[in-house]
C-alpha cells in the first residue's frame, strides 16, 4: 500500500527523516534543513528522481529525528544509513574506508595501522595502498624501534627481544628522539631511511643475493609510495579536492582527486551502490571521507550538495570551506579530469570484481568474521606417527591465493608428546622471525588448540595483537576467543582452503621425513589410509599390537574409519 502523505505531521526544523514499511524495515534515510518541506517534496506531481515513486509505493510511514543543526543531521544520517542499509539510499560498498598510520598521544607513543585513528593521535593518510602503509610501519619499527603494543609490560615483550621495539617499558632513554625521527619520515623526509635501504640493497647485490636485493628494492618503493601519499589529506594544509563521479547501472564510483599548487598529488576511489541521485551518492562518500580527515579550503563537486554539507565541512575544518560546481576555467578542467578517472575506475572495478574470485573469497570471510581484511592468512598444522618424525608446517594465503614462497616446515625439537605442546613450540618459533603480523592466525584444531596458543601468546605479551582462530574438521566449526563457535558457510571457504592446504603440505613433509631411512609401515600399504587415520588408530588402540588384534566392529569405533575401511584394515593385517 502506497504511503498517504495527508496525515503527515512534521516540524519545520532540521533533522533526519526515515521512510519505513509496515514491518519496521527502513527503506530510505534523508536529512533536511526543514523536515516538513523536504518530505512534502517527495509527493510532488513530477518527482526529480526516478526512485521516488517506487519509494512512496514501498513505504507505509515517515518517522523523523530533530537535530540541533543541519550539520548534526548530516552526521546522524550517515550513522543511520550504516545501521539500516536502506534499499533506496546510495551506500558505500562494504562501508569502505581507507587506512591511516597513527602515533598515539601516550607518554611513549605507539604506532598503529588503523581505519579509525584514536582521538588526540598524530595521523597520516588516508592511504590508497594499504600494503605499502603496513610495510612502512614495519620499517619504522625495525629502524627506529617504535612500539606497537597496546600496553607497556614491566618484563618487556617478544618484539623487544627480537629487535622490533626500543623497549620504553624497560628503559625510555632516547625513545622520544626515535619517535621524532619516525615523524620526520612520515612527514616526507624519508631520505635517511631510503639511503640506508639503498646501501643495504647494494650490499646484497654485491654478495649476489639478488632475491634479498629485490625485496629491499620493493621496500624502498613502499616508502616512496607512502610518503608521496602523505599530502592526500594529511595533517597539513590542502588547497583543493576535485570530486569525480561515474556509474554503470547501480554500480557507482566517486573519485577524490587532490591538488596542491596546481599539481595533482593523489587520488582515492570509493565504489558504492548508486541509487540514481548523484548529489546523494557524492554526499554519502564525502561524509565518510572527511569524517577522519581535514577538509581542504575548496571542494569541487559535480552537483550542488546543499548548505548543510558546506556547514559540516566548515565545522570539520574549523575554517571556511567553499563547495562549488565549477563551470569554466582551470578548476572546471580539474573536476572534469576527476570525472574521467571515475569513468576508468568504475570500469576497472567491474572487471576486477568479476575476475578476482580468490580476493572475493577473502573479502567474504573478512565480512563473516567482522575483520577489516583477510588478505594475509597464516595457517598451522602438525603431523606425527608413533612419536617419530614429529613435524609441523605453516602455509600463507595472500589475497586468497597460496603464497608458496612463504610456506615453512618445522621439526619438533622438544620432547612434547602431544599436538598442543608441539603446535605451541612451532608457533613460538615462527613468531621470532616476523616483522609484522597476519590478518589472521589459523590453527588446524579445536578449542583446546586455540586456548593453548592464546596462552603462549599471552606469555609473550602479544595478546590481542592479531586475531587467532581454530578450525575443527567436525562440521567445519570455527572457534575464536570471546565468540560462539560458528559452523562455516560458503562465505568461509577461504579458511577451509587454508586449513586443507596446511594439512596437505604438512603430510607431504611428514612422508618425506619418514621416507628417509624409515622402515615401511604395513598400514601405509592400505588404499585410502593416510597419516591422519593411522595416527587416530594408534591413539585409539595404544599401539600397533592393539590394531592387529582388533575386530572389524572395534576398528569402526575409531573416528574416520568406516565399514569398508575397517574391513580392508582387518583383511590386510590378518591375511
Residue 569 confidence (pLDDT): 87
Q: Do residues 466 and 441 touch, judged by C-beta distance below 8 A? A: yes
CATH class of 521-573: mainly alpha
pLDDT digits (tens, 9 = 90+) for 196-207: 778 888 888 888
Helices (H) and strands (E) in the chain, counts: 19, 20
CA–CA distance, 185 with 447 (Å, rounded to integer): 43
Residue 255 confidence (pLDDT): 87
Residue 61 confidence (pLDDT): 85
pLDDT digits (tens, 9 = 90+) for 258-303: 776 555 555 687 888 787 788 888 988 888 888 877 888 889 999 9
Reported confidence tier of residue 69, pLDDT bands at 50, 70, 90 = confident
Residue 430: is its pLDDT beyond 90?
A: yes
Q: Do residues 409 and 504 touch, judged by C-beta distance below 8 A? A: no
Question: Given 3.30.420.340, 3.40.50.300, 3.40.718.10, 3.40.50.920, which CATH number is that of 240-355?
Answer: 3.30.420.340
Phi/psi for 260 (5° steps) reads -140, 130
Helix/strand/coil for 465:
coil
Residue 453 confidence (pLDDT): 93
Reported confidence tier of residue 238, pLDDT bands at 50, 70, 90 = very low
Rounded to the nearest angstrom, the gap between the alpha carbon of residue 92 and the centroid of all alpha carbons in its chain is 16
CATH of domain 367-514: 3.30.420.340
When pLDDT is averaged across residues 17-30 and rounded to a whole number, the result is 88
This prediction's pTM:
0.42
Residue 226: is its pLDDT beyond 60?
A: no
Q: Pick the range with the lowest mean pLDDT from 31-45, 120-134, 541-555.
A: 120-134
pLDDT digits (tens, 9 = 90+) for 96-109: 566 788 899 888 89
Reported confidence tier of residue 1, pLDDT bands at 50, 70, 90 = low
Considering only residues 166 and 470, tell me which one the structure prediction assigns the higher pLDDT: 470
State which fold the 5-89 domain adopts: GIY-YIG endonuclease (3.40.1440)
Reported confidence tier of residue 129, pLDDT bands at 50, 70, 90 = low
Work out the mean pLDDT of the chain and round it to a whole number: 81
pLDDT digits (tens, 9 = 90+) for 35-68: 888 898 888 888 777 788 888 888 888 888 877 7
Give domain limits for the chain.
5-89, 100-229, 240-355, 367-514, 521-573
Residue 352 confidence (pLDDT): 59
Q: Do residues 392 and 380 touch, judged by C-beta distance below 8 A? A: yes
Considering only residues 532 and 222, tell me which one the structure prediction assigns the higher pLDDT: 532
Residue 236 confidence (pLDDT): 31
Residue 454: is its pLDDT beyond 90?
A: yes
Q: Tell me if 240-355 shares its fold with 521-573.
A: no
Residue 188 confidence (pLDDT): 65
When pLDDT is averaged across residues 482-487 and rounded to a whole number, the result is 89
Q: Do residues 574 and 566 touch, judged by C-beta distance below 8 A? A: no
Residue 438 confidence (pLDDT): 92
When pLDDT is averaged across residues 173-189 and rounded to a whole number, the result is 78
Residue 11, C-alpha cell as written in the block: 516540524
Amino acid at each position: 500500500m502506497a504511503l498517504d502523505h495527508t496525515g503527515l505531521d512534521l516540524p519545520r526544523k532540521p533533522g533526519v527523516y526515515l521512510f519505513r514499511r509496515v514491518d519496521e524495515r527502513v527503506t530510505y534515510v534523508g536529512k533536511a534543513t526543514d523536515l516538513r518541506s523536504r518530505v512534502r517534496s517527495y509527493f510532488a506531481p513530477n518527482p526529480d528522481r526516478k526512485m521516488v515513486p517506487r519509494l512512496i509505493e514501498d513505504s507505509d510511514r515517515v518517522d523523523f529525528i530533530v537535530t540541533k543543526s543541519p550539520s548534526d543531521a548530516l552526521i546522524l544520517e550517515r550513522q543511520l544509513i550504516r545501521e539500516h542499509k536502506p534499499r533506496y539510499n546510495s551506500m558505500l560498498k562494504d562501508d569502505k574506508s581507507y587506512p591511516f598510520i597513527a602515533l598515539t598521544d601516550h607518554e611513549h607513543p605507539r604506532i598503529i595501522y588503523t581505519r579509525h585513528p584514536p582521538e588526540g593521535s598524530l595521523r597520516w593518510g588516508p592511504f590508497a595502498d594499504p600494503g605499502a602503509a603496513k610495510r612502512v610501519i614495519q620499517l619504522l619499527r625495525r629502524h627506529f624501534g617504535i612500539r606497537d603494543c597496546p600496553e607497556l609490560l614491566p618484563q618487556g615483550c617478544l618484539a623487544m627481544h627480537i629487535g622490533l621495539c626500543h623497549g620504553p617499558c624497560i628503559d625510555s632513554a632516547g625513545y622520544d628522539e626515535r619517535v621524532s625521527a619516525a615523524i620526520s619520515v612520515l612527514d616526507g623526509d624519508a631520505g635517511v631511511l631510503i639511503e640506508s635501504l639503498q646501501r643495504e640493497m647494494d650490499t646484497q647485490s654485491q654478495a649476489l643475493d639478488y632475491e634479498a636485493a629485490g625485496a629491499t628494492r620493493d621496500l624502498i618503493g613502499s616508502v616512496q609510495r607512502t610518503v608521496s601519499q602523505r599530502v592526500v589529506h594529511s595533517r597539513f594544509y590542502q588547497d583543493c579536492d576535485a570530486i569525480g563521479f561515474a556509474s554503470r547501472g547501480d554500480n557507482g564510483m566517486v573519485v577524490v582527486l587532490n591538488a596542491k599548487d596546481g599539481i595533482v598529488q593523489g587520488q582515492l576511489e570509493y565504489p558504492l551502490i548508486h541509487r540514481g541521485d548523484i548529489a546523494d551518492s557524492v554526499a554519502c562518500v564525502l561524509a565518510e571521507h572527511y569524517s577522519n580527515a581535514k577538509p581542504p579550503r575548496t571542494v569541487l563537486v559535480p552537483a550542488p550538495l546543499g548548505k548543510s554539507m558546506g556547514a559540516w565541512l566548515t565545522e570539520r575544518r574549523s575554517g571556511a570551506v567553499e563547495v562549488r560546481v565549477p563551470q569554466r576555467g582551470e578548476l572546471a578542467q580539474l573536476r572534469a579530469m576527476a570525472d574521467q578517472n571515475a569513468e576508468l575506475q568504475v570500469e576497472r572495478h567491474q572487471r576486477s570484481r568479476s575476475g578476482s574470485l580468490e580476493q572475493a573469497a577473502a573479502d567474504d570471510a573478512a565480512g563473516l568474521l567482522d575483520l577489516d581484511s583477510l588478505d594475509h592468512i597464516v595457517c598451522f598444522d602438525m603431523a606425527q606417527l608413533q612419536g617419530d618424525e614429529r613435524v609441523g608446517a605453516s602455509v600463507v594465503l595472500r589475497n586468497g591465493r597460496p603464497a608458496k614462497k612463504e610456506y615453512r616446515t618445522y621439526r619438533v625439537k622438544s620432547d612434547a608428546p602431544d599436538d598442543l605442546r608441539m603446535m605451541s613450540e612451532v608457533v613460538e618459533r615462527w613468531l621470532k622471525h616476523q616483522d609484522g603480523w597476519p590478518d589472521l592466525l589459523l590453527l588446524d584444531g579445536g578449542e583446546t588448540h586455540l586456548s593453548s596458543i592464546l596462552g603462549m601468546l599471552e606469555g609473550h605479551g602479544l595478546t590481542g595483537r592479531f586475531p587467532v582462530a581454530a578450525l575443527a574438521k567436525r562440521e567445519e566449526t570455527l572457534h575464536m576467543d570471546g565468540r560462539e563457535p560458528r559452523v562455516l558457510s560458503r562465505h568461509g571457504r577461504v579458511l577451509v582452503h587454508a586449513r586443507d592446504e596446511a594439512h596437505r603440505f604438512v603430510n607431504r613433509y611428514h612422508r618425506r621425513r619418514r621416507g628417509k631411512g624409515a622402515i615401511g609401515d604395513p598400514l601405509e600399504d592400505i588404499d585410502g589410509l593416510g597419516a591422519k587415520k593411522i595416527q587416530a588408530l594408534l591413539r585409539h588402540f595404544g599401539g600397533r599390537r592393539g590394531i592387529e588384534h582388533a575386530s572389524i566392529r572395534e576398528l569402526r569405533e575409531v573416528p574416520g574409519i568406516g565399514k569398508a575401511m575397517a574391513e580392508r584394515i582387518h583383511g590386510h593385517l590378518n591375511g
